């Protein structure tokens, strides 16, 4: 833990992460008791929640694997002593493939990567574990159907040479969070099945097929296959604007908190913040919240809700780089130091409310919380102290 009070913090309840993993595993259980494996996606600093503590909590609750975008994120996990299976899938010419192999990191391969991965495997004298990624219609990375026979043949040849092991095949869904567009998801699933057939015809036998993201994990059992990849749901957030997380039994894990930095009287007609987009209608009291867009609070989220010492209020005026103002009203009793929660379970304000005020999605809202906001990892199942193994992450020292 830190040796000084936290002026502002993103408090992460690891008990909520564990609860969400258990809930998601139960939701994907088949009637016969079997279930797909669950990959906990901890890319982008675990969506802003702190990679290492979240990874440990997810694994403790039964997650089978970890997923990241970049190899450097996987190496950070390894450096912290996390030895669970991990897959990294987004590469450039500068990706350290040799380090990935040395750290036993599985690699997503869409096309060009297969040759430098094979070269690294030859140099290491050990096969690389790869998951071939198919483009089933999203149009990002992933091998397009026309190029797949060649990729499959090359992968089969390299597997025969002993430098590759094709463990998995995967893709990513584009509109699973829009149930009314189910036909398009159906088309992607059909394209995925066709791609798997191409791989098998080439002699490959991938044992782990995965395409389900959080929305498909929650609503499309036909997409569960051998493994589901859960990102947003891991953090207790819903991918569906009209279906709150609680509907799926998920618990939000992040609270964004600080305290009032200033409280002062203001006359009627007082302009507030840049552009004077808010003026006081009558004599009132203004409170200053020391968080701004440099901390990841969206500049455009005017009128977003927040909790000030137990009262539900809204942002007044434009959010600045380091701070914003809240109109406390003429009869305010709040003082400097009183607690402020922008969103979180204590106030009951969902991250979705801030995302809506900013015209964005909850994914972006939590992921963009900046590095000068310490992550305070707590465990509501065992008091409010982070475990010793997670203490460094509380101050940012182990945030891979």
Annotated domain spans of the chain: 14-236, 254-369
The DSSP secondary-structure symbol of 176 reads T
Rounded to two decimals, what is the model's pTM? 0.92
Active site residue 235: no
CATH topology of domain 14-236: TIM Barrel (3.20.20)
Query: Rounded CA gap, 142 and 161, in Å?
Result: 24
Instruction: Name the H helices within 28-172.
Output: 43-48, 51-60, 71-79, 97-102, 114-124, 148-161
Question: Which one of 25, 264, 274, 363 is the catalytic residue?
Answer: 274
Q: Is the pLDDT of residue 163 over 60?
A: yes
Active site residue 293: no
- Give the other-Cβ count within 10 Å of 200's Cβ: 13
Instruction: Name the H helices within 145-223.
Output: 148-161, 182-201, 214-219
DSSP codes, 339-351: EEEEEBTTTTB-H
Query: Rounded CA gap, 46 and 374, in Å?
Result: 14
* Residue 64: band (very low, low, confident or very high) from pLDDT cuts 50, 70, 90: very high
Question: Which one of 43, 47, 293, 363 is the catalytic residue?
Answer: 43
pLDDT given at position 392: 36
Mean pLDDT on 4-29: 94
Homologous superfamily (CATH) of 254-369 is Lyase, Ornithine Decarboxylase; Chain A, domain 1 (2.40.37.10)
Mean pLDDT on 221-231: 97
Q: Is the pLDDT of residue 400 over 70?
A: no
84-109 per-position pLDDT tens digit: 999 999 999 999 999 999 999 999 99
pLDDT given at position 382: 84
């Amino acid at each position: 833990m830190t040796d000084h009070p936290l002026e502002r913090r993103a408090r992460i309840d690891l008990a909520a992460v564990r609860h969400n993993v258990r809930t998601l595993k139960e939701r994907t259980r088949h009637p016969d008791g079997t279930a797909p494996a669950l990959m906990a996606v901890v890319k982008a600093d675990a969506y802003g929640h702190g990679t290492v503590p979240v990874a440990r909590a997810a694994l403790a609750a039964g997650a089978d694997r970890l997923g990241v975008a970049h190899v450097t994120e996987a190496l950070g996990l390894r450096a912290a002593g996390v030895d669970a299976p991990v897959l990294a899938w987004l590469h450039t010419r500068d990706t350290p493939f040799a380090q990935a192999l040395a750290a036993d990191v599985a690699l997503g391969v869409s096309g060009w990567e297969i040759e430098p991965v094979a070269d690294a495997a030859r140099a290491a004298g050990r096969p690389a574990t790869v998951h071939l990624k198919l483009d089933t219609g999203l149009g990002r990375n992933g091998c397009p159907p026309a190029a797949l026979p060649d990729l499959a043949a090359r992968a089969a040849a390299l597997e025969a040479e002993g430098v590759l092991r094709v463990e998995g095949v995967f893709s990513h869904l584009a509109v699973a969070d829009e149930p009314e567009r189910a036909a398009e998801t159906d088309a992607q699933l059909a394209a995925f099945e066709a791609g798997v057939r191409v791989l098998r015809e080439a002699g490959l036998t991938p044992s782990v097929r995965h395409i389900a993201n959080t929305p498909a994990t929650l609503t499309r059992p036909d997409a569960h296959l051998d493994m589901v990849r859960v990102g947003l749901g891991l953090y207790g957030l819903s991918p569906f604007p009209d279906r709150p997380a609680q509907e799926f039994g998920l618990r939000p894990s992040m609270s964004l908190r600080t305290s009032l930095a200033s409280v002062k009287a203001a006359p009627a007609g007082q302009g507030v913040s840049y552009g004077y987009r808010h003026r006081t209608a009558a004599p009132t009291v203004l409170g200053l919240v020391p968080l701004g867009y440099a901390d990841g609070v969206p500049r455009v989220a005017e009128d977003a809700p927040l909790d000030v010492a137990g009262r539900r209020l809204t942002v007044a005026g434009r959010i600045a780089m380091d701070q914003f103002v809240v109109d406390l009203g003429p009869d305010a009793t709040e003082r400097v130091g009183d607690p402020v929660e922008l969103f979180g379970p204590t106030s009951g304000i969902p991250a979705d409310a801030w995302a809506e005020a900013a015209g964005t999605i909850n994914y972006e809202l939590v992921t963009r919380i900046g590095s000068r906001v310490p992550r305070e990892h707590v465990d509501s199942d065992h008091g409010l102290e982070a475990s010793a193994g997670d203490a460094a992450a509380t101050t940012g020292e182990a945030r891979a």
